[in-house]
Structure 1
C-alpha cells in the first residue's frame, strides 16, 4: 500500500506519522511518500518520521521528495494538508478583516474566503495530476476550508472525501467525561465543515441511548469552558456546537479579543520554529508534547480510520466526513458538501439518515452553503464582482460597505496568489 502526503513538510506531519506507526494493523502502509517544495522542512520532518517508524518497529518505507508527479504515481490514497502562502498568508487572513470590525479567521469570513481563493486552484491542479498518475487513488482532503475544497474536488469529478478533526476530538472528550471507550461513543453530528452541532451523543452505535442531556447536566461547565461559550447558552440550545460557532454566536466578543491579543498565526509560527528545532535533534524519535498545542489533535487516527475503510481495510463502521448532501439534508442542494456521520466503503461515503434539523441551525447552514457556492465560483472563475458577492452573502459580513472594503483588501493582500488579479 502506497500513501502520499501532499504538504508532507508540515510541522504537523509527525502527528500523522505517529498514527500510521501505532495503527499499522488497521492500515498497513508499505510506502509513505512525503512531498513538499520546502526542502529544508521536508528533510527535518522526514528524518523524524523515519525515526518514529524505526522506534515503533514499523517496516514501511518513508520517501521524501519535491517531485509531485513521482510522489503520487501509483498511490492508493493521497492526503492533502497544504497551506498556500504559509503562515504569512494566514497572519493576513487573521488581521485585515478586523479593520472592518469583522472576525479574522482562516476558515470562515473574509479570511476564509481568501484562503479558499488561494487554495482551490492549487488543489485542483494537484488532483488532476493524481488522476493521471494514480487514477484509482482516493484523495482525502484535510486542507482548509475543507467544505469548499472538497466541493471543488467533487464537482470536478475526483474521487475525494473531506476530513476534519472536530468530531473525533469531541468524541474523545465525551468518552473521557463518560469514562467509556471512544469507540462506544457515536455522535449525531450535523452541519457543514466548521459549522456543526452535536444534537445527540449515543452509546454503542447510532441507535443507542442519547446521553447528551446527562453530559450537559453533569459536565456542562467543562464543555462550555472548552468551547469558550457561556454554559447557559448550551443549556438553552440543548446541543454542543463546534467551537467554530463562537465566531457566529460571540462575533463581537471575538473581534475585540483579536484586536488586543497576538494572532493565532503568530502563535503557530513561533511554535513551528520551536518544533523544527526539536525535529533537527537526531535523538528525538517521537512526536514532541509541543505538537499537541499546534492543533489538529486526533487527525492521524481519523485519517487512518478513513483510509482503511476506503482501501478495503478495517476502519470503524461509522465515520464523520465531508461528502455530498444528495438529499440527506433536504433544505440544502444535493451538491452541497455536508459534514455528517457516514458508512465508508471502497465506493465512498453514504451518509446516515439525519433526524429533522432545528430551524435555528438549518437557517445558518443554508446561508453558509450559499456563501460556499459563491466562494467556489469566485475561486474557479475569479473577478472582483464574484468576490464581492461571496462576501456579501456571508452571514458574518452581510453589509455592502463592508463587503466592498473587504473585497479590495482581500485582492490587495492576495494578488500574488490570484492569477486573475
Structure 2
C-alpha cells in the first residue's frame, strides 16, 4: 500500500491542529495515506473534538486523507511509518500538582524544571517505554518523533532503556530563536548560521552570518533593545548582560530559572498566590481552544493556539518527518545521541544540538567544548537527568532522592525531601514503578498536607 501512515499518541492534544496544518503544507513531499490519533479514555472527549476538526482540515485541503480516532494504541501503531508522541500523563491536573506543591514550600513548580519537571519524567518515561515495546512488535521500522516533555529525558530513556535508536526529540524553543532573532539585526533566517548545543531546555547557541562572521554579540546587544522572542510560558526577566557577553553565547529562555533563579522564583510564587500557576493559566487557554474546535465550520488552525506556549512544536515535527522521508538533509535542532558533537558529555548520551536530518536520522553538527562555567552547568544537569531517568525506570527511592538533591532548583534537605514525598503521594495513580515506595511512605503516615490537598481539589476541579 502506498503512502505514509502516521500514528500520534496523545492525539487529543490542543496542538493537533498545528500538526495537521504542517502535514497539509508538506503533503507534496510527504504523501500521507492515513493518520491515527490515539488517546486514553480520560481524553476521549477532547480526542473526538480535535479529531473531527482534524478531518475538517484535511477535507478543506486538496488531499484525501482519512483521520482515524482510537483508544487502541496497538491498532494505531500497526504498520505505522512514523509515530509522534505528545501525551501528558495525568493531564493538566498533574501539571498543576507539580507546580503548586513545590510552590507551597517556596520552591519552583514548573513543567520541565525543578521538582515538577522531574515528576513529569517519572510519570512519562514508563509510558514511552511501553510505547517503544509496542513499536518493536507492530511497526519495527518506524521512526519515533517525540515532543512529550521533558523531551530530552524522554528521548534519552528511549535510547538508553528502550534500546530504540530511531528516535528524535524536538523542542519549539530553538525554532522560535531562529525565527525571531534574525530580524533583530535586519537579517532573514537563511542569512544566518546557527549552532546549538546543550540539553533540552538547557542549551546555548552561537550565530554567524553567511560570510562566517560571528554575530552573536550583535544579537545580544539587540536583545536588550528589542523583543527577544521569549516563549509565552517564560517570564521575561533580562539576563545579566555581563554574563552573556562573557560567555559569548545566547542561553535558551529556560536558563532564566538558573541564571536569574531569585527573580524567576519570586514571580512564580506571586502567580501561585494570585492569578494561578502556568498550568492553571494553560488550562483556561486550552478550554477556550476546545470551545473553538467544536465549531463545525472551523477547518484551520486558530491564531489563539499561538498563546498556548508550545507553538511550533508540531510544525518542527512535520518538518523532521518530511526530512527523514524525503532525505532532505534539513538543518533542525534536535535531541539525539551525542556522538561527539558536545565533547564535554559522553558520546552515548542524548544532547540537544543542531543536526542535518535525512533518511538515516540526525547527523550532528559538532559544537566543540563549552567554556568552563557552561561545561560545569551542563555536566551537573546531565547527571541529574540520568539519575531521574534511572529512578523512573527502577522505582528506586534513593536514586530519586539523589536526583532531587542534585537539581539546582530544589533546596536540598528536609524540605526538599518533604516536597518529593508529597509529590509521590499526589501522583500515586500514575507512578506504578514507585508502588513500593509509595506504600512505604503511606505506612509512615506521609500525606499531602491538608491545606495543599484542599487547594488542589479546588484548582484542579472542572
User: TM-score scaled to structure 1, two decimals?
Assistant: 0.94
* Secondary structure class of the residue paired with 1:221: coil
C-alpha separation in 2, matches of 1:371 and 1:203 = 35
**Contact kept? 1:220, 1:231, Cα under 8 Å:** no
2:27 to 24, 27, 33: 24
In the alignment, structure 1 residue 78 sits paired with structure 2 residue 55:
no
C-alpha separation in 2, matches of 1:279 and 1:34 = 16
**CA offsets per residue over residues 312-360 of structure 1, 9 Å max, x none?**
34351x2211011233222212232100011222222221111331111
Counterpart residue number, 2:175: 168
1:191 to 175, 180, 198: 198
2:102 to 87, 97, 104: 97
**Contact kept? 2:60, 2:299, Cα under 8 Å:** yes
- May I ask how many residue pairs the two structures share in their alignment? 417
Counterpart residue number, 1:130: 135
CA, structure 1 residues 266+183, in 2 after alignment: closer, same or farther (shift >3 Å)? Answer: same
Counterpart residue number, 2:214: 210
* Secondary structure class of the residue paired with 1:30: strand
5 Å matches for 1:203-242?
203-204=209-210, 208-222=212-226, 226=230, 227-230=236-239, 232=241, 233-242=243-252
Q: Give the drift of 1:219.
A: 4.3
C-alpha separation in 2, matches of 1:417 and 1:211 = 47
2:342 to 329, 333, 347: 329
Counterpart residue number, 2:445: none
* Secondary structure class of the residue paired with 2:194: strand
Counterpart residue number, 1:67: 72
In the alignment, structure 1 residue 300 sits paired with structure 2 residue 314:
yes
Q: Give the drift of 1:194.
A: 0.4
1:288 to 288, 302, 325: 302
In the alignment, structure 1 residue 120 sits paired with structure 2 residue 125:
yes
5 Å matches for 1:243-392?
243-261=253-271, 262-314=276-328, 316=330, 318-392=331-405
C-alpha separation in 1, matches of 2:430 and 2:364 = 35
**Contact kept? 2:184, 2:222, Cα under 8 Å:** no
Runs of 5+ unmatched residues, structure 2? 231-235, 439-462
C-alpha separation in 2, matches of 1:120 and 1:27 = 29
Runs of 5+ unmatched residues, structure 1? none
C-alpha separation in 2, matches of 1:286 and 1:184 = 31
Q: Give the drift of 1:78.
A: 0.1
C-alpha separation in 1, matches of 2:191 and 2:352 = 20
**CA offsets per residue over residues 113-172 of structure 1, 9 Å max, x none?**
110110100111011111110000000110111111111101121121111111111000
User: TM-score scaled to structure 2, two decimals?
Assistant: 0.86
C-alpha separation in 1, matches of 2:175 and 2:28 = 20
C-alpha separation in 2, matches of 1:225 and 1:136 = 38
* Secondary structure class of the residue paired with 2:279: helix
C-alpha separation in 1, matches of 2:411 and 2:33 = 50
**CA offsets per residue over residues 76-120 of structure 1, 9 Å max, x none?**
110000000000000011111123332111111111111011010
* Secondary structure class of the residue paired with 1:94: helix
